[in-house]
Amino acid sequence: MTKVYEKLQTGPQTGIDRSNLNYEERSEVRAIDVRGTTGLAQVNNPGKFTNVFYLDGDEAAAAELFAEVNADLIAAIDLSARNVLQTSLPRHMYDLILDAAGRREIRTYPTVVFERREDGTIWLIDRDRYETRVDRRYTTSETGSARVPSDLSLETLYENYGSVITESDLRETTIDGDVRQVLDYYRVASGYHCQPTTTETGELAITKIEETD
């Protein structure tokens, strides 16, 4: 085992020279290497990023280190437009880095993913869709994704309804897309005491559970 590999076993690193690894070790080492995509104009690129090397399985820790050593460059990126991180990295790593950098808040639940943007907009996306259809996450014209505008509080919305909240109730709000994702979020997120149910007309709904002392 090489000393470089031993170092990587302690956690992700910068400044690694892969030539100092043996053949078998190289097959296990991954890198966050931001260079853009060949053939695409390198717009929205604030400068040269420091690469981070890690062992397969250490993606979350690698994203945290990358966000730390490249904090100023990440802060300078306009996330509302195509950017060099987006064109250089797999979507999963891109998401991890933005979360680690504090530029997006991402919470993953068993069946739904919560994503808050810098402008306060919230996306609630079916987890399977989020993980397997990354190019179709942020669309409200199909089932599986809901967009909650920044001026609408999910907490206040929940409190303002009575004991039952239905799909029809949520469709009357400014939420765009599949409102069932909002009901699912209430079901699985902490702070909301409710259980799933259906209405007499077959709509999905949640019923609030009274808290007891």
Q: How many angstroms separate the CA atoms of 124 and 177, rounded?
A: 10
Read off the amino acid at residue 41.
A
User: What is the predicted pLDDT for the residue at 42?
Assistant: 58
> 123 forms bridges with which residues in the sheet?
115, 147
Average pLDDT over residues 179-198: 96
pTM, two decimals, is 0.77
- Residue-level pLDDT at 41: 47
The predicted structure's pLDDT at residue 133:
86
pLDDT (average), residues 173-200:
96
- Domain residues of the chain, as ranges? 1-102
Q: How confident is the model at residue 37, as a pLDDT?
A: 56
* pLDDT over 70 at 39, yes or no: no
What tens digit of pLDDT does each residue of 111-134 get? 999 999 988 999 999 999 998 887
pLDDT at 107 > cutoff 60 = yes
Query: For 61-102, what is each residue's pLDDT tens digit?
Result: 999 999 999 999 999 998 877 888 988 899 889 999 999 999
- Between CA 87 and CA 37 the distance in angstroms is 6
With 80 as the cut, is the pLDDT of residue 38 above it? Answer: no
| DSSP helix/strand/coil, 88 | helix
Q: Is the pLDDT of residue 53 over 70?
A: yes
Cα torsion angle, 96, 98, 99, 101, sign? positive
Could you tell me which of 165, 147, 149 has the C-alpha nearest to residue 204? 165
| Structure confidence at residue 69 (pLDDT) | 98
pLDDT band with cut points at 50, 70 and 90 for residue 135: confident
How high is the pLDDT of residue 125? Answer: 97
pLDDT at site 45: 73
Q: What share of the chain in percent tops pLDDT 70?
A: 95
Rounded distance between C-alpha atoms, residue 67 and residue 86, angstroms: 14
Query: What are the tokens at 132?
Result: 């397997």
User: Per-residue pLDDT tens for 139-186?
Assistant: 999 999 999 999 999 999 999 999 999 999 999 999 999 999 999 999
